[in-house]
């Protein structure tokens, strides 16, 4: 099995955790990242955990010439895990052209290079955002794709379609799209974790920053939803579980165990958790009371969604191992360790 793998966005949150799991499985990892939303010091964190520094090049994937030059200088790479993308929902509404340009041109450049340099295997970072508010829960992969509520979400939908059409047009290429639910937490070593730049948009970093005294209080976006406690429900999974799923998906392609040249898997726990339950979990594992206040609903929020992960469980033999409390504890440990060492 060829073990040279390119990880785009490998210094980002999910990317860095995946690099660790790949190295633990003996892969030789090359990272491309433009560092637009990540820090070069993440490489030290990865090296601290695995004892092996991944190869790194600061390249903007939208620069086709540089991407081509990378593959010319690094022969033997046979697979790519593609994380690099902009991901802030609110910003994408304000700057749609930036989002479409960055997220789609980078994917097109990679696919062009996959053909030109005979790189057959791709794992793509997609999102449960493609389901919108599903009619049936838990949501399976064959649920209808809904009109995207944000340009960011649309780049994931269009990205999946571009990959599907490209795979159909070229027998040598194969891909897996992984639709993540809500990744949270950090590596148990606290060497790497989520590093939001500016004010976090996502729930868990906002919780940990509030508890650390960086934010005044968490705003709970709505308690009048049609859910048992009135707050929104999501499927939160530990980022290490998610990272391991990428290794499993990649090996499936490399060992030719895939059924069809383009496969799609949900990655979640299968369990829905409300915002209030997430807060309770945080308070339980940290021993701290969280300051929060219920405010209006956030525009564009989905009321409730959680995964049916049966396909990934049965086909990939992957399932989540960490609990919500484990994930919250690791997020809190990471926040404390990051603040201490800053």
Torsions phi, psi of 176, nearest 5? -125, 130
**Applying CB under 6 A, which part among 105-113, 199-207, 283-291, 308-316 lies near ligand UD1?**
199-207
Residue 152 designated active-site: yes
Closest separation in Å from C-beta 224 to ligand UD1: 12
Q: Which residues pair with 220 in a beta bridge?
A: 294
Q: Quick one: 113 or 279, whose CB is closer to ligand UD1?
A: 279
Four-residue CA torsion sign, 85, 90, 95, 96: positive
Residue 151 tokens, joined: 């340009």
CB–CB of 279/292 below 8 Å? Answer: yes
Q: Of 86, 152, 180, 338, which one is the catalytic site residue?
A: 152
**Applying CB under 6 A, which part among 28-36, 200-208, 260-268, 317-325 lies near ligand UD1?**
200-208
**Applying CB under 6 A, which part among 50-58, 107-115, 158-166, 196-204 lies near ligand UD1?**
196-204
Q: Quick one: 23 or 157, whose CB is closer to ligand UD1?
A: 157
Which position among 20, 61, 139, 232 is part of the footprint of ligand UD1 (CB under 6 A)? 232
The DSSP annotation for 65-112 comes to HHHHHHHHHSTT--EEEE------HHHHHH-HHHHHIIIIIHHHHHHH
Q: Which residues pair with 263 in a beta bridge?
A: 176
Lookup result for tokens 């994408």: 92
Torsions phi, psi of 100, nearest 5? -60, -45
Q: Lay out the site mask for ligand UD1 across 297-316 (x = CB under 6 A, - = otherwise).
A: -x-xx---------------
d(CA 194, CA 63): 27
d(CA 243, CA 334): 17
Q: Lay out the site mask for ligand UD1 across 49-88 (x = CB under 6 A, - = otherwise).
A: --------------------------------------x-
Q: Does position 175 bind ligand UD1 by CB under 6 A? A: no
Q: Does position 331 bind ligand UD1 by CB under 6 A? A: no
Q: Does position 29 bind ligand UD1 by CB under 6 A? A: no
The DSSP annotation for 220-258 comes to EE-S-SSSTTSS-EE-EEEHHHHHHHHHHHHHHHHTT--
Q: What SS3 class is residue 272? A: coil
Q: Does position 267 bind ligand UD1 by CB under 6 A? A: no
Which position among 2, 74, 112, 202 is part of the footprint of ligand UD1 (CB under 6 A)? 202
100-139 residues in contact with ligand UD1 (CB under 6 A) are 127, 129
Q: Which residues pair with 295 in a beta bridge?
A: 221
Closest separation in Å from C-beta 89 to ligand UD1: 4
Q: Does position 208 bind ligand UD1 by CB under 6 A? A: no
CB–CB of 86/140 below 8 Å? Answer: no
Q: Does position 91 bind ligand UD1 by CB under 6 A? A: no
Q: Quick one: 234 or 252, whose CB is closer to ligand UD1?
A: 234
Cis peptide leading into residue 245 (ω within 30°): no
Contacts with ligand UD1: how many residues (CB under 6 A)?
A: 20
Q: Quick one: 68 or 298, whose CB is closer to ligand UD1?
A: 298
Q: Quick one: 22 or 232, whose CB is closer to ligand UD1?
A: 232
Q: Quick one: 66 or 95, whose CB is closer to ligand UD1?
A: 95
d(CA 177, CA 163): 9
Measured CA to CA in angstroms, residue 194 lies from 16, 226, 237, 239 at distances of 10, 30, 14, 9
Catalytic residues: 152
The residue ranges that bind ligand UD1 (CB under 6 A) are 87, 89, 127, 129, 153, 182, 201-203, 206, 218-221, 232, 234, 275, 298, 300-301
């Amino acid at each position: 099995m060829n073990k040279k793998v390119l990880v785009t966005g490998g210094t980002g949150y999910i990317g860095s955790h995946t690099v660790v799991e790949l190295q633990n499985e003996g892969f030789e990892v090359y990272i491309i990242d433009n560092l637009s939303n990540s820090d070069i010091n993440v490489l030290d964190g990865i090296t601290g955990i695995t004892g092996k520094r991944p190869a790194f090049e600061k390249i903007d994937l939208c620069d086709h010439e540089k991407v081509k030059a990378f593959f010319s200088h690094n022969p033997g790479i046979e697979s790519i895990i593609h994380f690099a993308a902009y991901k802030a929902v609110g910003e994408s509404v304000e700057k749609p052209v930036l989002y479409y340009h960055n997220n789609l041109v980078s994917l097109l450049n990679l696919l062009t290079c996959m053909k030109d340099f005979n790189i057959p295997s791709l794992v793509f970072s997609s999102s449960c955002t493609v389901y919108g508010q599903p009619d049936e829960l838990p949501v399976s992969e064959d649920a209808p794709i809904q009109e995207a509520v944000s340009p960011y979400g649309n780049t994931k939908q269009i990205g999946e379609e571009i990959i599907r059409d490209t795979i159909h047009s070229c027998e040598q290429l194969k891909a897996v799209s992984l639709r993540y639910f809500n990744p949270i937490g950090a590596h148990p070593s606290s060497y790497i974790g989520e590093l939001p730049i500016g004010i976090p948009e996502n729930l868990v970093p906002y919780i940990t920053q509030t508890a650390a005294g960086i934010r005044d209080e968490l705003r709970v976006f709505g308690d009048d939803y049609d859910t048992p406690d009135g707050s929104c429900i999501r499927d939160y999974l530990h980022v290490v579980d998610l990272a391991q799923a990428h290794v499993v998906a990649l090996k499936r392609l490399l060992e030719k165990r895939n059924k069809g040249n383009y496969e799609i898997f949900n990655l979640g726990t299968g369990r829905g958790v409300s915002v209030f339950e997430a807060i309770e979990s945080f308070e339980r594992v940290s021993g701290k009371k969280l300051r929060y206040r219920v405010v209006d609903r956030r525009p564009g929020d989905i009321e409730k969604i959680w995964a049916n992960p049966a396909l990934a469980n049965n086909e990939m033999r992957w399932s989540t191992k960490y609990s919500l409390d484990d994930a919250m504890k690791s997020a809190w440990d990471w926040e404390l360790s990051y603040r201490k060492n800053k």
